[in-house]
Structure 1
Amino acid sequence: MTSHLNRSLIKNLDLFKSLPDADLDAVLQTAQVCRLAAGDAAFRQGEIADRFFVLLHGHLKVVQVTAEGEQVVVRYVNPGDVFGIARAMRRPDYPASTIAVHESLALAWPSSEWDQFTATNPHFASNALQTVGQRLQDAHTRIQELSTEEVEQRVARAILRLVDQSGQQTPEGILIDFPITRQDIAEMTGTTLHTVSRLMSAWKDRGLVTSGRKRIVVCAIDDLIRLAEGPHTPATRSAGINAEST
């Protein structure tokens, strides 16, 4: 029940920081706790979009099955993200499935609350709009990468995006802080498990990464950035990771 939820946990999320306690209580009145074990789905592709969510803890992957039956990992959901917002795009159903990669906790609200949410919480509305815009931009970027880039460059870019989102500094290097498989990477980049395995093994031999079962650590971030930027391009981007951010 939502009465067991620690209010300070919700209030400290960026989505709700601007809400006074009275408004926060009103938000929580219609919320439900959604606990997901690894492999559980918050919702499945094609189901009626009757709820929207905010992730409190854990990580989820958004998976879409194409008309040809191929599975694509669209993106990952991180703590503090709003997801399942088909209502914001005026869709009656969910365009993809959202699955926990490890134990996760979210809050869920009926989709019928969406308009009230956005009307009474401008900060939430602005964040949701930015989320939709970012996802459209990400979709355009992925299409461009698939059309113009070699596989090694695409895989490097995908891993760097995960580092930016969920990288954690460790003595080994920068750990992607949730379970992820080579098959997941293949489904993110439009290639095969065999190709990703071959690349990761070559990168391991070169000291760029280490990887194991559902675990990837980037050991040479600058070298990976050079691969992502393409041949003969200086590594000018930042990895987005420092001691303070982890």
Structure 2
Amino acid sequence: MTANLPLNRAWLANLPPFANTSREEQDDILREASVLRLHGGATVFEQGTPADAFYLLVHGRLKATQLTGDGQRVLVRVVNPGDLFGFVRALGRRDYPATASVTLDSLALAWPTRQWEPLLARHPGFALNTVQAIGERLQEAHVRFCELATEEVERRVAHTVLRLIQHTGFPEADGIRIDFPVTRQDIAEMTGTTLHTVSRILSAWEDRGLVRGGRQKLLVRNPQRLMQIAGGDEREIAHEGA
């Protein structure tokens, strides 16, 4: 849904793609952008559809999921404020490789895909910030691939929960809360395992006081112990393999 909403320029300048850009550069970058108000549960685009736009999340949370050839759904990434998404031109594609759905009511900017190369050409600072963001995303994907290939499932779940609190954590008196609705199925999809296995691991962690769950909520009460698990320092929970 397109909306005529004012943008706080000072706040916008704090988002990675706009770092160190002038007011004039922002005006030019935003000239062909549409402002989208996205409601929770909506789909921004679907896997396999023609990529006619790329986006910047300004506020809220999205998740990108991919359906594999054998019908398995994988949660590829959580889209956080400041993240570009749907930029298929950078990947040499013409269609979206994943489905982007709205987890929380969100605000995003959208540009026609045809503007990808011209914007990067006209604004070296914007291009550099974008390349750095893509590089960080590729590095995270590489780390996740290595975890899937080499680590036992409990360590993978610990790494995933730690990444979630790093990017979306909100400090509370009892710990750090993941600041968007996250289900055990989501974590299973992010770690390449089953809902049953993730449920068993999280239930055991709850019994030990490491986390506290709820309906689509997760509070991490002891990040240090999760870091030990992620590092392979303990093997206390019997579980099924991935």
- What TM-score do the two structures reach when normalised by structure 2? 0.91
1:108-123 aligned within 5 A: 108-123=110-125
1:36 alignment partner in structure 2: 38
Give the drift of 1:229: 0.5
Distance 2:158 2:5 in 1: 44
Give the drift of 1:2: 4.8
Q: Which amino acid aligns with 2:117?
A: D
1:68 alignment partner in structure 2: 70
Distance 1:102 1:232 in 2: 35
Are the aligned partners of 2:18 and 2:129 in contact in 1 as well (CA < 8 Å)?
no
Corresponding residue to 2:79 among 77, 80, 94: 77
Pair 1:200 & 2:226 matched: no
Pair 1:210 & 2:212 matched: yes
1:90-105 aligned within 5 A: 90-105=92-107
Corresponding residue to 1:27 among 19, 26, 29: 29
Deviation per residue, 1:48-105 (Å, 9 max, x gap): 1111111110011110000011000011111111111111122111111111111111
Query: Identity over aligned residues, as a percent?
Result: 50
Are the aligned partners of 1:45 and 1:96 in contact in 2 as well (CA < 8 Å)?
yes
2:52 alignment partner in structure 1: 50
Q: Which amino acid aligns with 2:74?
A: V
Distance 2:146 2:26 in 1: 41
Corresponding residue to 1:156 among 148, 155, 158: 158
Give the drift of 1:4: 3.4
Distance 2:14 2:148 in 1: 38
Corresponding residue to 2:184 among 176, 182, 185: 182
Pair 1:130 & 2:132 matched: yes
Give ranges in structure 2 of 5+ residues lacking alignment. 236-242
Are the aligned partners of 2:64 and 2:77 in contact in 1 as well (CA < 8 Å)?
yes
Distance 2:6 2:70 in 1: 44
Are the aligned partners of 2:33 and 2:109 in contact in 1 as well (CA < 8 Å)?
yes
- What TM-score do the two structures reach when normalised by structure 1? 0.89
Distance 1:68 1:207 in 2: 37
Are the aligned partners of 1:52 and 1:83 in contact in 2 as well (CA < 8 Å)?
yes
Distance 1:17 1:51 in 2: 22
Equivalent residue pairs, number? 233
Distance 2:131 2:120 in 1: 10
Q: Which amino acid aligns with 1:129?
A: V
Give the drift of 1:6: 3.5
Are the aligned partners of 1:2 and 1:29 in contact in 2 as well (CA < 8 Å)?
no
2:15 alignment partner in structure 1: 13
Give the drift of 1:232: 6.1
Give ranges in structure 1 of 5+ residues lacking alignment. 234-246
Are the aligned partners of 1:160 and 1:225 in contact in 2 as well (CA < 8 Å)?
yes
Give the drift of 1:125: 1.0
Change in Cα spacing, 1:118 to 1:2, as seen in structure 2 (3 Å) is farther
Change in Cα spacing, 1:7 to 1:62, as seen in structure 2 (3 Å) is same
1:144 alignment partner in structure 2: 146
- Please report the RMSD computed on the Cα atoms of aligned residues, expressed in angstroms: 1.7
Q: Which amino acid aligns with 1:155?
A: V
2:213 alignment partner, SS class: strand
Distance 1:116 1:14 in 2: 19
